[in-house]
Amino acid sequence: MGITKLEKGQFLHKAGQGKVESVEVVIKGSIQISNAYSSINCNVGGFIGIVENPGDPYAYNYEALEETSVYSYPFNSPDDLPKIIKSNPKIAPILAAQSSEIAAKTCAVYEKQYDDALQEYEQIMADYADYPSLCIKVGEIAKSFPELDELIPPEKSEKIPNWVIDFSNSLKENEAVLKKTFYGLNIEFATGMIMTTYTIYKTISDQVLLLNEYRKVLKKKTSSFTSTIKAIKLKLADMERSENEGTEGSVTIVNALNTILVYSGVSGEIATKFEEQISAFKSNNNRYDSSDEARALRRNISTSFYEVFIPAFLRSLTDENIPIEVKMFFMFGFVDEELAGAKNTSILHNMAKAYVPDENGNVLTVYEWLKKIFMLEVEPSKNEFDQDWPSYLREQRSTGAISQDQLEAMQNNPQKRLDFEIHNLFALGNRMTFGRISSFVPVFDEQNVLRPLDMAYQTAAKVNGYYDMIRSIDYGVFCRQALYSNTEIGIPQVYYDDDITPYMILMPNVGSRASLWQEIEGKNRRTKARMLVSIFNTENTEETMIKLFGEFRWEMCKTEQGVHWNDVTDPSLTSMYCDYLQFYKKNSALSTENKEKLRTDLKKFSNNYKNVFIADYLSYIKFESAGSPRLNKVTREILFTFCPFAKAVREKNADNPQYKELFNHYSVRINNAAKPILNIIAKLNKDGIDVPEELTNQIEHLKK
């Protein structure tokens, strides 16, 4: 032990090398203390190695920043530190001042280390959230990175409260005064200050090492994703550069219409007709005007489109290598690169190339939906006269259009089912979701792109996100009441709520509307609803979806109530709402302003009660749930009674006086509903009988 002299750049100790047996005091020059992520400088009077653990390898690097001298002392435990200080009474104030400075520097390092670690985590999660949409832009199929779902953000240690950091910073700010008037008064003051600050930066040093370890693990776990996202971003940058420089880039589609027509195998007459129609359409700058010629051309294109679509679809069922132009035709109605525009063609190409089906099977392109119809996986949808497939066949039989033998042959004939679906849900739904019915044309046209395609594009992830959003507010929106019975274990009958996620069918157009095609399949109330939305939605999609779910609420209630849907003696969402709107003028609970607003709303929606409800439902979900009142007292009570908020929303609005009484009544109602089920579960547990899943699910549902 004694004096050690160091040249500039020379290491006193290196991380991971040598055992900690001494602690040094800088008596000349300065030393940089560093690890992989941070560093601080220690000047004359500073302790070196004080945060290390005696007997362990060094955790930090100690490098001379200039010609430096240090004095070494044996270091077996922190108890050695007071002895070292008291053996140097003359320089004790300098040691104390430097110790308080190091404490402040260590606090700053900890704050920066935490901020950097949090920023790294947030950047990775932001990239992870953007990854699917970036893959779509560059035309790559998104890979799965389940390890990223397990990541958690760094946490600030409870061992370092804010007062510690404030105290250390205050010592640094008042260093000159303390050094002159306090540290020199008594050796015990200096010793106490050094040991206090030692405890602070020893604790912080340990937490910094934990943050370092967190960052190392984070880097290791995300290395595969980081490499992937970096490559995706480079590819996207190259594409944008090519676009800005006016070069073609990597996507080249030429004469797409010919490829589609050849693939479909339609007759030369149909092919020539469709080519001429598309040529005339794209050469007309006023192709959406209301002239007879323009309207006739749009109608003819619609007819020819489906004549080409059907044979192309049938061929694709046995083709594992469908041309990308044909995929774009099926997904987006794309037929011509000039009509779509070069930029849009490139985007559509990449979207089709990157498309991945919904793993839950709830969100489907129209191509995937028609495939399910053809494969007899689902029944064809209702037609414009509200007839399902069996009803339509029976009606055809009763009018003599087909015989009984033909009816039986057609019932499960894939081709007949496909034709029915294409001429009803596809053709009519495509027109409805487009929004401007009189201007509808089923082919992709650049003139209809009113919003960036990547923003308008509805993916399975986006739609499932809207399902999650509505459930987080109106948790019972997709629930149907079902009956469970098992007399063998003593359960005669128990009603429970069955949550059934609807189908969302993505129509191949750039449109502004969504539509509820049917709320159930046939007569079975426990089947999925069928909803339609444009694959490129040009409106506020969140509001569009909320309105769609509101429409489902209304129609599902009508279906469940049957002929009593507007009978106020059988209380339901529709009956109570109809009664409220029909007799609002006599309702004493409504103010004059409320009544005037209702009169205006009814006039605005042409006395259509459903549309008034949908507008109120939008306000209820979007504003009332956030604590911003938009509805009158009567509307609020009806909506909350039949569309109650989820638990998290109720808790957030617990102090809202407009809802407090409603929440209290609801809690009583839920407890009363849960009590008999809990009694059954308790009895089954007592008898050692497995509790049916329906009962446990219902209790979990009621907890929401």
The position carrying tokens 């498309």 is 355
Is residue 234 domain-shared with residue 263, that is, in the same domain? no
Is residue 283 domain-shared with residue 246, that is, in the same domain? no
At residue 167, the pLDDT reads: 74
- Comparing CA positions, the residue from 21, 27, 20 lying closest to residue 42 is 27
Statement: residue 21 has pLDDT above 60: yes
Within a domain: 492:
no
Within a domain: 477:
no
Helix (H) or strand (E) holding 606: none
- Comparing CA positions, the residue from 651, 701, 654 lying closest to residue 674 is 701
Judge whether 73 and 84 are in contact, CB under 8 Å. yes
DSSP per-residue string spanning 656-683: -HHHHHHHHHHHHHHHHHHHHHHHHHHH
Judge whether 41 and 92 are in contact, CB under 8 Å. no
Q: Which of 390, 423, 456 is the last residue of a domain?
A: 423
Per-residue pLDDT tens over the stretch 534-584: 999 999 999 999 999 999 999 999 999 989 998 888 999 999 999 999 998
Number of domains in the chain: 3
Give me the residues paired with residue 506 across strands.
365, 533
At residue 243, the pLDDT reads: 62
Q: Which of 77, 112, 133 is the last residue of a domain?
A: 77
Q: How far apart are CA 419 and CA 382, in angstroms?
A: 13
Within a domain: 456:
no
Per-residue pLDDT tens over the stretch 199-225: 887 788 888 888 888 888 898 888 888
Q: Whole-model pTM?
A: 0.76
Is residue 101 domain-shared with residue 189, that is, in the same domain? yes
Domain that holds residue 228: 92-250
Judge whether 168 and 100 are in contact, CB under 8 Å. yes
Half-sphere exposure of 652 toward its Cβ, with a 13 Å CA cutoff?
A: 12
- Angstrom distances, CA of residue 563 to CA of 61, 559, 560, 581, 675: 82, 9, 9, 19, 32
Q: Which of 209, 234, 250 is the last residue of a domain?
A: 250
Is residue 150 domain-shared with residue 174, that is, in the same domain? yes
| Three-class SS of 52-96 | CCCCCECCCEEEECCCEEEEEEECCCCCHHHHHHHCCCCCHHHHH
Is residue 20 domain-shared with residue 53, that is, in the same domain? yes
At residue 248, the pLDDT reads: 46
DSSP per-residue string spanning 215-237: HHHHHHHTHHHHHHHHHHHHHHH
Is residue 176 domain-shared with residue 276, that is, in the same domain? no
Statement: residue 116 has pLDDT above 70: yes
At residue 249, the pLDDT reads: 47
Is residue 265 domain-shared with residue 245, that is, in the same domain? no
Is residue 271 domain-shared with residue 415, that is, in the same domain? yes
At residue 180, the pLDDT reads: 66
At residue 4, the pLDDT reads: 87
Is residue 56 domain-shared with residue 203, that is, in the same domain? no
Is residue 297 domain-shared with residue 352, that is, in the same domain? yes
Within a domain: 359:
yes
Residue 83 phi, psi (nearest 5): -65, -40
Within a domain: 525:
no
Is residue 298 domain-shared with residue 236, that is, in the same domain? no
Indicate the pLDDT class of residue 481, thresholds 50, 70 and 90. confident
At residue 198, the pLDDT reads: 77
Per-residue pLDDT tens over the stretch 157-215: 777 777 777 777 777 777 776 666 676 667 877 787 778 877 887 788 888 888 888 88
Mean pLDDT over 579-595 rounds to 90
Judge whether 129 and 149 are in contact, CB under 8 Å. no
Mean pLDDT over 10-27 rounds to 88
- In the numeric block, which tokens belong to residue 214? 């967190």
